[in-house]
Amino acid sequence: MRFEDCNPIGDKHYRILDFEGNVIREEDIPSFSDEELLYLYWTMLFSRTIDEKNISYQRQGRMLTYAPNIGQEATQVGSAYAMEKNDWLVPSYRELGAWLIKGVPLKNIFLYWYGNEWGSHMPEGVRVLPISVPIASQLQHATGIGMANNIKGEKNVVVTYVGDGGTSQGDFHEALNFAAVFKAPVVFIIQNNQYAISLPRKVQTASETLAQKAIAYGMPGILVDGNDIFAMYSATKEAIERAREGGGPTLIEAYTYRLGAHTTSDDPTKYREDEEVEKWKEKDPILRFKKYLKNKGILTEEWEENTKKELEKEVTSTFEEIENKSDTLIEDIFKYHYETMPPHLEEQLEDYKSFLEGGR
């Protein structure tokens, strides 16, 4: 019903909450318990806390380059919450909220951004692929897993993410085409945060929307208000259910905004105006969800204040543990690129060992 109501061509966003947290599509409100609603809000706060602390750590020289998620929490948390335990999450590098929902430990997140290879080693039962930095390359992996699920007769669905800039890569088009032809159970989510580093969305493509690209590949597409956690959950849930029943892939454009920098190596003031950022701050997904929860009498200031303190304490203690005990072994950089180390890496590893021996 949601996809039938919302044509991907045009600027009609699928939305359940308005900017003030009021319900505008009562029939589409998910039937969450109060505990679930607070858990979703807790996860959004957790993501925001991790981001703010990581930016601080990087500025202090205690962490490598980091990609913040600030402003995109509803897109990630809402969509990931629609997944089941055995569904696969195939991320790029800006899906912190989705990682948290899918059970990626905070320790792993810190290990990765700290430069330790073990950050990509997921616990047993956590079906999340490692972070993929090459733009849009993860979409091919997602389609491959979906096709494998069909061959094996499994009912698991794959949810994968890409930025608006990634839609200009050949990998994006190849993955969508294969997924549609072979009816792979994949949900493609474009996090349209308006900028591919410094390149704005308006010069990324001539298409009126990114969601309309679904039409060319013969799959459903929808433009969703990415700052509305309920809309993201509902649209993704419908797409996942269709995929699980053999209906093939779906393309979702989550219309959101990157409030911070592309990474901590980026200076967004060079390519966008502060006035634009301030307008989007008024649409902050956490603020919108908070208004809804307070209107319903579910959220109290005391609960939020205590939660923020607890989350900050957990983030701080976990990072300090990694910082004090997590030296990266150079050998690991060579060991985990391939199942069997190829000759050229064996040679480089031996050169490194010889260098160490010569320095003693």
Write down the pLDDT at residue 359: 60
Surface-to-core class of residue 246, CB atoms within 10 Å of its CB (0-12 exposed, 13-18 middle, 19+ buried): exposed
Write down the pLDDT at residue 326: 60
Residue 191 has pLDDT above 80, yes or no: yes
Mean of pLDDT values over 63-74 = 96
How many domains, the chain?
A: 2
Do 340 and 221 sit in the same domain of this protein?
Answer: no
Computed over every residue of the chain, the mean pLDDT equals 94
Do 13 and 148 sit in the same domain of this protein?
Answer: yes
Annotation marks residue 344 as catalytic = no
Q: What is the DSSP string of 90-127?
A: E--S--HHHHHHTT--HHHHHHHHHT-GGGG-PPTT--
Residue listed under structure tokens 């609603």? 37
The residues with which 196 forms a beta bridge, in sequence order, are 199
Q: How far apart are CA 228 and CA 71, in angstroms?
A: 11
Mean of pLDDT values over 84-96 = 98
Write down the pLDDT at residue 87: 98
Residue 327 has pLDDT above 70, yes or no: no
Annotation marks residue 292 as catalytic = no
Mean of pLDDT values over 111-133 = 92
Choice among 271, 272, 336, 352 that is catalytic: 271
Mean of pLDDT values over 21-29 = 95
Choice among 66, 262, 288, 292 that is catalytic: 262
Annotation marks residue 81 as catalytic = no
* Angle 257-262-266 from CA coordinates, rounded to 5°: 140
Surface-to-core class of residue 47, CB atoms within 10 Å of its CB (0-12 exposed, 13-18 middle, 19+ buried): buried
Do 301 and 347 sit in the same domain of this protein?
Answer: no
Enclosing domain of residue 176: 2-327
Do 319 and 335 sit in the same domain of this protein?
Answer: no
Do 161 and 287 sit in the same domain of this protein?
Answer: yes
Do 352 and 223 sit in the same domain of this protein?
Answer: no
Residue 334: strand, helix, or coil: helix
Do 304 and 255 sit in the same domain of this protein?
Answer: yes
Q: What is the DSSP string of 298-325?
A: ---HHHHHHHHHHHHHHHHHHHHHHHHH
List of residues 6+ apart from 133 with CB closer than 8 A: 92, 93
Distance of CA 282 to the CA centre of its chain: 22
73-80 and 229-244 helices, crossing angle to 10°: 40
Task: Give phi and psi for 251, each to the nearest 5.
Answer: -115, 125
**DSSP conformational letter for 282:** T
Residue 1 has pLDDT above 60, yes or no: no
Choice among 66, 258, 288, 292 that is catalytic: 258
Mean of pLDDT values over 102-118 = 92
**pTM for this entry:** 0.93
Structure tokens at 64: 């490598």
Do 341 and 323 sit in the same domain of this protein?
Answer: no
